[in-house]
């Protein structure tokens, strides 16, 4: 499949065309298998190797995360290769840590071994439950953010690195959440009421515009009770800021 055809399918898939996404994934399965096999250093089969499933999920993530504005510098397949490599590398690291944790001393009694196995099984079960709960929350957040044209990958890229910046934007989000008029503007137009926010918060227009996605995500989380557990994942929005960014 030619690069232009791939790009068209990517664009349609990003717009919600499930058939285009399926066609793209099916057409690129040989590419996905080659990349995964090269990274793993061995031949892989779809029936027996989890690495191919991980690579397939990574390819699907790449569709949503790809910035078409950079298509000339970074073709989609090059970008997808990077995402697959990153996901498989993370998988190998997790597997290595898991094997290290599973090693037991050789001088344990039978009772101690059974107790250790039972404890590890319980820990794994709880960890799996936590992972599933977070995945469900992220799915709800993804649906809520889609109304504003924001994807999870875009949100991750837009999350400020500095804690003080996150705190300032969190304060702005709380101001919006507490004001019916500001919330109505956001929900009706899908944009921040910049003039009113500058006046009420003292935060500059430039900072508000740069933090738009992060602010909207926090407002969504703050105003949806079932998303409350996600607050800590987006920079501790309850922390009060120590300074204003102007």
Confidence category of residue 239, pLDDT binned at 50, 70, 90 = very low
**0.75 exceeded by pTM:** no
pLDDT mean across residues, the chain: 80
Residue 191 — pLDDT band, cuts 50, 70, 90? very high
Structure token digits, residue 121: 């099984």
What the block records as the tokens of 151 is 């994807």
CA 32 from centroid of its chain's CA atoms: 21
N residues, the chain? 246
Model confidence at 180: pLDDT above 90: yes
Chosen CATH of 1-103 out of 1.10.8, 1.10.260, 1.10.1740, 1.10.3470: 1.10.1740
Q: Note the pLDDT tens digit of each residue in 123-179.
A: 555 666 566 666 777 788 888 888 888 888 888 888 888 888 888 999 999 999 999
The tens digit of pLDDT for each residue in 75-119 reads 899 999 999 998 998 888 877 665 544 444 544 454 544 455 555
Residue 201 has what pLDDT? Answer: 93
Residue spans of the domains in the chain: they are 1-103, 105-246
What's 150-167 look like in SS3?
Answer: CCHHHHHHHCCCCHHHHH
pLDDT (0 to 100) of residue 235 = 45
Instruction: Note the pLDDT tens digit of each residue in 10-64.
Output: 999 988 888 999 999 999 999 999 999 888 888 888 888 888 999 999 999 999 8
Nearest to 60 by CA among 22, 19, 92, 97: 22
């Amino acid at each position: 499949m030619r690069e232009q055809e791939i790009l068209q399918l990517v664009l349609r898939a990003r717009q919600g065309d499930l058939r285009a996404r399926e066609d793209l994934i099916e057409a690129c399965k040989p590419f996905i298998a080659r990349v995964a096999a090269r990274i793993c250093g061995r031949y892989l089969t779809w029936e027996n190797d989890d690495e191919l499933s991980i690579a397939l999920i990574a390819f699907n993530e790449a569709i949503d995360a790809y910035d078409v504005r950079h298509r000339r510098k970074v073709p989609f397949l090059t970008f997808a290769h990077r995402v697959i490599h990153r996901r498989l590398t993370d998988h190998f690291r997790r597997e290595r840590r898991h094997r290290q944790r599973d090693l037991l001393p050789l001088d344990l009694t039978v009772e101690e071994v059974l107790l250790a196995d039972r404890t590890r099984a319980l820990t794994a079960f709880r960890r799996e439950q936590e992972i599933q709960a977070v995945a469900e929350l992220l799915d709800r957040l993804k649906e809520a953010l889609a109304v504003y044209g924001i994807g999870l990958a875009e949100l991750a890229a837009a999350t400020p690195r500095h804690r003080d910046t996150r705190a300032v934007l969190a304060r702005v989000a709380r101001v919006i959440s507490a004001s019916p008029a500001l919330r109505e503007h956001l929900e009706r137009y899908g944009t921040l009421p910049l003039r009113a926010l500058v006046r009420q918060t003292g935060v500059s227009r430039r900072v508000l515009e740069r933090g738009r996605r992060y602010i909207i995500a926090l407002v969504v989380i703050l105003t949806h009770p079932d998303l409350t557990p996600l607050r800590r994942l987006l920079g501790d929005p309850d922390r009060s800021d120590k300074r204003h960014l102007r």
